[in-house]
Structure 1
Amino acid sequence: MRLRALTAVALLAVLAGCGGAEAPSGGNRDLLGNLPSCDRVPLDQEPEVAADVPGLVLPDGARVTSVVAQGALTSVEATVRMSPLDVRAHYEQRTDIELLRIEDEIFETEVLARAQDRRMYLRAGALCADGTTLTAMVGPDSDDAGLPEFRTG
């Protein structure tokens, strides 16, 4: 079921075209309504785990399911009842972090931010109409820390 939802997201993203630094128009936001209902795509199948990671800043209500330290980097997996566009708006409104870069393509948002002397790269991908998977990588505040790159094009 999850694979079908992700396949649908990928197909719709291709059909919708790529966004960029500009916020999508209301018509593009309506495309999220084409995704399956979150009642059919459970967001809470995996057990929740504690995430005490300096520099990790997730939206309220995020449910962390995995934290893995990999040398200087820590990866975190979570879900949240928000669309990727809502995730973008959430980070744009925060005053406790410094946004270094943010982009969205309707079905996916990427954020690079600085918080607590650390950098966080976050990718938010639509899982259902109002549910999103969050994949974050937190590491040293450095351009060569090994954080993932933004996907463009």
Structure 2
Amino acid sequence: LFQRFPVMWRGQLALKNDSSFVQMHFVSGNQGLVKLTLPQISPMDQVPLRIAQRMRMEQSQLEGVSKRMQMDSDYCLLIAVPCGRDPMDISQQTKGLTEGFIQYLQQKQAAGIVNIPMPGSQQPAYVVHIFPPCEFSHEAVLRANPPLFDQIRDSPHVVIIIVHCDASHP
């Protein structure tokens, strides 16, 4: 399914009391943003990527994300799908992703947000957005790779969009 889209990160997504192990496949943009923003520790000791905030899926908010996706160097688009050690584990991770993330975010009409500071700073430098399947995430994947959209449309996934906090950042 995802052979043409390299795995850039494997780890745990966390939201409130729910978590799910996922692997994130690179779709488009700047691959370098993955190393700058997602926890880079060995899989056994990995710190979860914890969603601390939500962004309401209002037009003005979505336009802000879209504006930061104009240049390939300014964003990274990934697809996160459940992963596990064996089919039973994958089934559990799929349930966790579906119930704890996809359904929750869809009910709230929101994307999950993780602010990532520059090393040694409290100021956010990047924002990791976690979108459930929705019109905005579908359009982003369709723009980047129409055949991929057909492959993922009916399977549990979230779309990850990493952008700089400041749109004027190089």
TM-score by length of 2: 0.36
- The structure carrying a bigger helix percent of its residues is 2
TM-score by length of 1: 0.39
